[in-house]
């Protein structure tokens, strides 16, 4: 199994890369910051896995195509594509009518255009029967005041997932989304002051989510046991809301 993961330079992306390598996948860790991607690859290899680091700007079709070509050259045809790259921690929260057009477009370019660009780039490199897993967000279902650009972008990921499931389906390629709730990553700590306790009281499990709590859903949807599941979104938020 060869898995290309975007935004693998840290946080959830790094956790997914480590977990997939632990399951035997050859990991292609991609990030706009090549040094961070290399650090993830190094950590995978130190843990006994196999990994390659590739730079990619998911908003740029040429960069995405080059990254996929580099991945195939290094590791062979892709079995799985995990679209995790997103703008999150650097988003300025503001009322919907105070968000600038530039801010809106910047978030949409990475969070929504990015998964589409990567799917186009990986289309021919993905093996028949392969997997695409897109990372959305549980905030799509609850809404989050002063975060219209982020929530809208992640809602768009769910719509894109459903369309891609239809179009990749004849090749036996499944396309699904994982919608994590608030998860304690370095980005989250930079975004919310009371991150450790944020949303805990509203969850059924009464604890915060770690990146490792999310990876199981990604592994399942990227693995062999989910071959008849496609176009779906799996919410992983500790029971903060039931869909």
pTM: 0.94
pLDDT of residue 71: 97
Identify the band that residue 243 occupies on the pLDDT scale cut at 50, 70 and 90: confident
User: Mapped to the 3 state alphabet, what secondary structure does 69-82 carry?
Assistant: HHHHHHHCCEEEEE
Convert the pLDDT of each residue in 55-104 to its tens digit: 999 999 999 999 999 999 999 999 999 999 999 888 999 999 999 999 99
Domains of the chain: 2-236 (3.40.50.720)
Mean pLDDT in the chain? 93
Cα maximum dimension of the chain? 50
**Percent of the chain residues topping a pLDDT of 70:** 93
**Percent of the chain residues topping a pLDDT of 90:** 81
pLDDT at 185 over 80: no
pLDDT of residue 199: 67
Convert the pLDDT of each residue in 170-181 to its tens digit: 999 999 999 998
pLDDT of residue 189: 57
230 vs 198, higher pLDDT: 230
Give me the mean pLDDT over the 190-205 stretch. Answer: 70
pLDDT of residue 147: 92
Active site residues per annotation: 150
The full DSSP string for 59-121 is: T-HHHHHHHHHHHHHHH-SEEEEEE-----TTPPP--GGGS-HHHHHHHHIIIIIHHHHHHHH
Tokens linked to 14: 């790094």
Convert the pLDDT of each residue in 90-128 to its tens digit: 899 999 999 999 999 999 999 999 999 999 999 999 999
Q: Which of 138-152, 166-180, 201-215 has the lowest mean pLDDT?
A: 201-215
Convert the pLDDT of each residue in 21-32 to its tens digit: 999 999 999 999
Give me the mean pLDDT over the 153-158 stretch. Answer: 98
């Amino acid at each position: 199994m060869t898995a290309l993961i975007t935004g693998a330079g840290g946080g959830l992306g790094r956790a997914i890369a480590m977990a997939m390598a632990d399951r035997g996948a050859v990991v292609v860790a991609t990030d706009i910051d090549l040094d961070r991607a290399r650090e993830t690859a190094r950590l995978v290899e130190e843990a006994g896995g196999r990994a390659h680091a590739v730079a990619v700007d998911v908003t740029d079709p040429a960069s995405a195509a080059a990254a996929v070509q580099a991945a195939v050259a290094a590791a062979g045809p892709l079995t799985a594509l995990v679209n995790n790259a997103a703008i999150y921690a650097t988003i300025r929260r503001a009322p919907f009518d105070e968000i600038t057009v530039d801010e809106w477009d910047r978030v949409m370019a990475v969070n929504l255009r990015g998964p589409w660009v990567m799917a186009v780039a990986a289309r021919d490199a993905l093996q028949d029967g392969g997997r695409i897993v897109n990372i959305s967000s549980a905030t799509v279902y609850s809404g989050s005041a002063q975060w219209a650009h982020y929530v809208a972008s992640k809602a768009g990921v769910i719509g894109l997932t459903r369309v891609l499931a239809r179009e990749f389906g004849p090749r036996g390629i499944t396309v699904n989304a994982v919608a994590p709730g608030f998860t304690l990553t370095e980005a989250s700590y930079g975004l919310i002051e009371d991150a450790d306790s944020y949303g805990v009281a509203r969850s059924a499990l009464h604890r915060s989510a770690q990146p490792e709590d999310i990876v199981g859903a990604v592994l399942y949807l990227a693995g062999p046991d989910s071959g008849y599941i496609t176009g779906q979104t799996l919410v992983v938020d500790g029971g903060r809301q039931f869909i």
